Structure 1
């Protein structure tokens, strides 16, 4: 919860941030409060409390209270707390590994807890039935876009990842109802990703935004929003690194869901791709001693 509030803080108003900070700081106490009581405790309004719950990824305040109660129970059970310590330049490598592993685990847990299952299911259905799928992302998010595209291609779907913003827009112009477009951007405000998604939206394609900032510009042109979580950015770990972990989890959820929905065609397609690649990747053990390569005369 703390990680989610931290990642969403830049998009929050002062009153929403007050409510979010309260529930993150003391989930056990807030889980016992009615919407009116929490509004009084934070000096805000009931509407602000409900708005905060939705910003955090819950349909309403009742759902947020249930999540807070579960979090409080987990804390009382003695579960290991999240480790979010900064990595210092003089940290030994063993400590770097431990800190990164702890943050990766927490990032995955936060993303899974905050993922809207209804939005995810709708995105799975839209992509599984799309005539064509365009995927937009730049920088580290383009690597995630490529991962999603190659996964979908291997189960027989027509999918393309666009890292060139001009190519992305010119392809988006050709999308129509029955097509789908996915924008991947942690900040939600990367123009080179927002622009093609807006174009796809305006041409009738079903649009999906995978972002760490619900309410950011990219979501204005998204029919469906899949929210991710990420540890805060540090000097030695920029947002591009930390956000990629949560994005890849959502990509895997999408892929498995689509493969389930299209199993009759997906399974043979996967089998065929494995069979085609197997001879190329089969290594043979060397026989005898290693000999130096002979230079050509």
Structure 2
């Protein structure tokens, strides 16, 4: 478990804790790095609770005691110390916000990798590999992800399309049937137009694969839900970590589909690569252009 997961576990459980135990949770969430150097008496003093309260807090989170909790927290922080969520400020230099963005992105990718359900991925790969048609639905920032996914499947000779317009999604939805697959991609899982389209798809008997956060309306409509929960700075609309995570998950699925289709699919990809060579300028020609007056 990485630190983001453990701290999220504490945050999610906080409402179910006693008020005194919530004080411990608040201190741990605010100062996680300090906890690993504390004794139980130190934490109790800082959180202004009794030592038995600290023990009850740990056991409420399914740990044997404070030492067990502290060891898990230390391991989590050590494995994820470099990649943390960030907030921007106006004094950041290019170097500073460059590192913040890259580190946060890598952290989100690692966290998403650990959260992905391998069984759900297997089911999605099988459904797509055997589908008559595969349609990708996404709006806004999810639209480029759908276009990328359609391109990857097209290279595998799978009948695929991508729709980012609600009207086209509706038309597509009512033409589907059993044996077809829709992959609905959303960063929030709450977009009304997308939910409307997916409900129509469910009525046709087609399979619905979703890439979206857990416990959202879109996830609940899925035949095969693939949960992607990414923490982002919601004030920075241009920083779309979830979009990058979605792209990587699509890559995983596409590779899985290619492997499921067998050697013929791999040979076809090699044929495409060879056919594209004529569209690229010769390296020697490029060098001659660089040195010509």
TM-score tier by shorter-chain length is 0.7 to 0.9
Q: Distance in 2 between matches of 1:259 and 1:127?
A: 10
Query: Alpha-carbon deviation of 1:258?
Result: 0.8
Query: Alpha-carbon deviation of 1:248?
Result: 1.3
Q: Distance in 2 between matches of 1:101 and 1:246?
A: 13
Give the TM-score normalised by structure 1: 0.74
Contact 1:7 1:231 (C-alpha < 8 Å) held by counterparts: no
Q: Distance in 2 between matches of 1:131 and 1:70?
A: 50
- Structure 1 partner of 2:262: 263
Q: Distance in 1 between matches of 2:169 and 2:209?
A: 15
- Structure 2 partner of 1:130: 131
- Structure 2 partner of 1:188: 189
> What value does the CA root-mean-square deviation take over the aligned residues?
3.9
Q: Distance in 2 between matches of 1:159 and 1:184?
A: 15
How do residues 227-246 of structure 1 correspond to structure 2 at under 5 angstroms? 227-235=227-235, 237-238=236-237, 241-246=240-245
Query: Alpha-carbon deviation of 1:86?
Result: 1.1
1:242-261, Cα deviation, whole Å (9 max, x unpaired): 21121112111111111111
1:216 to 1:8, Cα distance in 2 relative to 1, 3 A: farther
1:108-141, Cα deviation, whole Å (9 max, x unpaired): 0110011111111101100111010010001110
How do residues 27-66 of structure 1 correspond to structure 2 at under 5 angstroms? 41=57
- Structure 1 partner of 2:216: 216
Q: Distance in 2 between matches of 1:162 and 1:8?
A: 36
Contact 1:201 1:207 (C-alpha < 8 Å) held by counterparts: yes
1:129 to 1:239, Cα distance in 2 relative to 1, 3 A: farther
1:215-245, Cα deviation, whole Å (9 max, x unpaired): 211122211111113232243x327612112
1:78 to 1:253, Cα distance in 2 relative to 1, 3 A: closer
Partner SS, residue 248 of structure 1: helix
1:73 to 1:256, Cα distance in 2 relative to 1, 3 A: farther
Contact 2:6 2:73 (C-alpha < 8 Å) held by counterparts: no
Count of residues paired in the alignment: 261
- The runs of 5 or more residues in structure 2 that have no matched partner are 37-53, 64-68
Query: Alpha-carbon deviation of 1:5?
Result: 8.1
1:188 to 1:79, Cα distance in 2 relative to 1, 3 A: closer
Q: Distance in 1 between matches of 2:10 and 2:139?
A: 23
Q: Distance in 2 between matches of 1:263 and 1:229?
A: 32
- Structure 2 partner of 1:99: 100
Query: Alpha-carbon deviation of 1:107?
Result: 0.3
- Structure 2 partner of 1:32: none
Q: Distance in 2 between matches of 1:5 and 1:131?
A: 42
Query: Alpha-carbon deviation of 1:15?
Result: 3.8
Give the TM-score normalised by structure 2: 0.75
1:285 to 1:101, Cα distance in 2 relative to 1, 3 A: same
Greater alpha carbon shift after TM alignment, 172-181 vs 237-246:
237-246
Contact 1:233 1:239 (C-alpha < 8 Å) held by counterparts: no
Contact 1:178 1:205 (C-alpha < 8 Å) held by counterparts: yes
Contact 2:183 2:209 (C-alpha < 8 Å) held by counterparts: yes
- Structure 1 partner of 2:162: 161
